[in-house]
Amino acid sequence: MNHKLLLCAALMLAAWFPLSSQSLFDSIRVARSGEVFFATGEAALSAEARTTLDTLCTFFLRNRRAEGIRITAHTDSIGSPDKNLALSQNRADSVRAILLQRGIPPEKITLDFFGESRPVSANDTEEGRRRNRRATIDVLVRIPMTSLSGRVVDQETGKGVLATVVFTYKNLSDSTQTDSAGKYTARLPENIPVKVDAFAQGYFFESAMRNTFGSKEMVKRMAEENKKEIRLQPARPGQKAVLKNFYFKGGMPILLESSKPQLPKVLRFMQINPDIKIEIAGHINVPFSRNGDETPLQPDDLNWELSEKRAQTVYNYLLEHGISPDRMTWKGYGNSQMVKPYAKYESDMELNRRVEIRVLEK
């Protein structure tokens, strides 16, 4: 995969998964926010609004990492756009004046005003207009950052892979690319567990958990963490991969909420690899008894049907998101291909209850 294709893949990733308004790579974050509202055509602050501002100012002055306060002001659509733009500026100035009175340094305050151009509600009701006559105040703090490095390699050869690496922590996400040796480095917040997903053309995707450390005594530990490699399995015809952390409600084809983020990863895989065709295979857990009977369920059994419906869940998701039906099939295998035929413990049963994707001949 050349660098131009890698750049295209990175842009596609951003399109599939729009990031939040804040980036995981940003060292400046919104620590606390508040809103104040205004009467029609007015810029004066109410007693309630002043109380809100007092609370935000106290938080700012007591926070040693406070970096600044951002004010954004708006109006409803009553009046001309030019007058509303001027009114929103007056509202921002009113908020700024209170912040200055409360001891916030002027250089720490930034203003933005947008008139009626950014409504949060329709202007055809009084309640909607009231919500639009607002100013938002964000307290910004600087968070400590540290470097997280690693490597993405071919599982078979150990050679570096040109890949897109996606970092996710809570509702924040960001991505970078590896170099020709498969190495990546990113600046991330200190002392967090971060999910790392690697995607590359010609490979199945893979995930790993990493921890970022900031304290001096933990630097050595992070160095050891950074030595860990993400090993990608080549996606050649006949090869298959289990969808990890992919769990359904008991006895149902309904995916658990915690497993739904896995579906977009399959979509990424299909979009990065436009020439690949796959079979989506569903499997269930019905262990054999230890009396020697190893007869699997038959296709007319209801439990067998469950394995089909679970595979179809993934198929339908991909179909709904633009993957051609010519590129994929789905099939249920019941309990005929259990990883742990005599599963006794839940950990073994989970290995049996799985969905796999297998690459077909092109």
pLDDT recorded at residue 20 = 43
Residues near 228 by Cβ (< 8 Å), separated by ≥ 6? 150, 208, 210
Mean pLDDT computed over every residue of the chain: 89
The CATH number linked to 166 is 2.60.40.1120
Give me the phi and psi of 23, to 5 degrees please: -105, 150
Helix axes 81-101, 47-62, angle to 10 degrees: 50
- The pair of three-digit structure tokens given for residue 158, joined into one six-digit string: 């150990």
Residues near 145 by Cβ (< 8 Å), separated by ≥ 6? 27, 187, 188, 189, 190
Average pLDDT score over residue span 272-277: 95
Same domain assignment for residues 189 and 164 = yes
- What long-range pairs does 314-318 form, CB within 8 A, spacing at least 24? 314/243, 314/263, 314/266, 314/280, 314/355, 314/357, 315/280, 317/263, 317/266, 317/267, 318/266, 318/267, 318/270
Instruction: Encode the chain in three state secondary structure.
Output: CCHHHHHHHHHHHHHHCCCCCCCCCCCEEEEEEEEEECCCCCCCCCHHHHHHHHHHHHHHHHCCCEEEEEEEECCCCCCCHHHHHHHHHHHHHHHHHHHHHCCCCHHHEEEEECCCCCCCCCCCCHHHHHHHCEEEEEEEEECCEEEEEEEEEECCCCCECCCEEEEEECCEEEEEECCCCCEEEEEEECCCEEEEEEECCCECCEEEEEECCCCHHHHHHHHHHHCCEEEECECCCCCEEECCCCCECCCCCCECHHHCCHHHHHHHHHHHCCCCCEEEEECCCCCCCCCCCCCCCCCCCHHHHHHHHHHHHHHHHHHHCCCCHHHEEEEECCCCCCCCCCCCCHHHHHHHCCEEEEECCC
pLDDT recorded at residue 349 = 86
Task: With a cut of 70, say whether residue 141 has pLDDT above it.
Answer: yes
Same domain assignment for residues 244 and 339 = yes
Same domain assignment for residues 251 and 103 = no
Same domain assignment for residues 83 and 118 = yes
CB 70 within 8 A of CB 32: no
pLDDT recorded at residue 277 = 97
pLDDT recorded at residue 323 = 97
For strands 145-154 and 229-232, give the pairing: parallel
Same domain assignment for residues 203 and 262 = no
Cα–Cα separations (whole angstroms), residue 73 to 19, 51, 93, 131, 254: 24, 18, 9, 12, 44
pLDDT recorded at residue 353 = 85
Last residue of a domain, one of 186, 211, 232: 232
More confidently predicted of 233 and 251: 233
Task: With a cut of 90, say whether residue 344 has pLDDT above it.
Answer: no
More confidently predicted of 5 and 179: 179
Same domain assignment for residues 43 and 120 = yes
Give the confidence band of 102 by pLDDT, cuts at 50, 70, 90. very high
Same domain assignment for residues 163 and 267 = no
More confidently predicted of 269 and 298: 269
Residues 197, 9: Cα–Cα separation, whole Å: 14
- Residue-wise pLDDT for 110-133, tens only, equals 999 999 999 999 999 999 999 999
The CATH number linked to 322 is 3.30.1330.60
Task: With a cut of 90, say whether residue 268 has pLDDT above it.
Answer: yes
Task: With a cut of 50, say whether residue 98 has pLDDT above it.
Answer: yes
Domain that holds residue 332: 240-359
Same domain assignment for residues 52 and 86 = yes
Same domain assignment for residues 254 and 331 = yes
Last residue of a domain, one of 173, 208, 232: 232
Give the confidence band of 10 by pLDDT, cuts at 50, 70, 90. very low
pLDDT recorded at residue 223 = 60
Task: With a cut of 60, say whether residue 26 has pLDDT above it.
Answer: yes
Same domain assignment for residues 253 and 286 = yes
pLDDT recorded at residue 230 = 95
Q: Which is nearest to 308 in space by CA: 339, 330, 279, 338?
A: 330
Give the confidence band of 5 by pLDDT, cuts at 50, 70, 90. very low
Q: What is the pTM of this model?
A: 0.76
Last residue of a domain, one of 212, 232, 252: 232
Same domain assignment for residues 46 and 108 = yes
- Residue-wise pLDDT for 182-230, tens only, equals 999 999 999 999 999 999 999 999 999 998 887 665 656 656 655 679 9
Domain count, the chain: 3
pLDDT recorded at residue 14 = 41
Give me the phi and psi of 327, to 5 degrees please: -100, 0
pLDDT recorded at residue 275 = 93
pLDDT recorded at residue 343 = 86
Average pLDDT score over residue span 304-315: 93
- Residue-wise pLDDT for 29-52, tens only, equals 999 999 999 999 999 999 999 999
Same domain assignment for residues 187 and 292 = no
